[in-house]
Amino acid sequence: MVENLASKYKLTLSLSCNASLGYHVQAILPRNLNAGTFDLPSEFIEVRRNKRVYTMTTNALATLNQQCKIACEELHLMSNVLLHDLLQSVREYIGCLFQLSADIAELDLVTSLAQVSSLPTYTRPSFGSKLELIDSRHPIMDVFGFDGPVPNNVNASIPQNLCIISGPNMSGKSTYLKQIVLLHIMAQLGCFVPARKAMFRITDLIFCKIAIRDDIECNASTFALEVSTISTTVLGRVPLFIALGASRIIAERVVASVTRLMVTRLYLLELLMTEL
């Protein structure tokens, strides 16, 4: 239809479709024609112009467009009926389906851990009184990274259990912190880890503070939320530390929202060291 109209009136026409107009004809006026004096043939109706672009339709196209809308509505109704009947038929087996989904997910987890544990670059972790990682790598970047991650060493023991990591933006500080947590979780799941040597302390809880923004609903600034998070971490961890033995705290950019407050940061670090 559009090709016939273009050939009939010697115009550059194309068929377009959008949510508001449906199927319609679009014409781009050549630059050698004046848009102010150009008149479209009377066969085109509902004409809209935007600079040199005309959008319009015809009676025949409008009829086909309406038929298409009716057909789509009927398809939606038929689909809803079929989906409703399908849900009604499987409703009595929904418990089995949920259990099957959980079993498949657990099987997928076990096979995935077994697959990565068989890689030659992964090592079997050991557990002792300190955290020691030699040539450890981020497990996700180790698989999907383009050039491969740079191996890092991690050392933390009871006498030296505080590490301060500094560096410029995009230097890998956050990745380094997340890597420690991921490897620790993998190790306690019974999975091998990407490192040349790995020793972990058994951890009951891992507290993470990676990024915090202000909360308008609670009327709390970023600084207030960061201090509250550190306070909750310390106060909430001490009983567990005494009763269960060990937890781990991973914090990024403590009170970084306040400039030139190194004294505050050092105070919070001293609080962590004193309480823990």
pLDDT of residue 254: 46
Q: How far apart are CA 201 and CA 133, in angstroms?
A: 11
The average pLDDT across 190-197 equals 92
Q: Which two tokens stand for residue 168?
A: 């410029």
Q: How far is CA 130 from the centre of its chain?
A: 33
Work out the average pLDDT over 52-79. Answer: 90
Q: What is the pLDDT of residue 198?
A: 92
Average pLDDT on 259-274 reads 54
**Percent of the chain's residues with pLDDT above 90:** 22
Kindly indicate the confidence band of residue 245, based on its pLDDT and cuts at 50, 70 and 90. Answer: very low
Tokens of 245: 């033995």
The pTM assigned to this predicted structure is 0.55
Q: Report CA 136 to chain centroid distance, whole Å.
A: 25
Topology of domain 119-202, per CATH? Rossmann fold (3.40.50)
Mean pLDDT of 222-237: 59
Q: Of the ranges 44-48, 94-98, 153-157, 172-176, which one carries the lowest mean pLDDT score?
A: 172-176
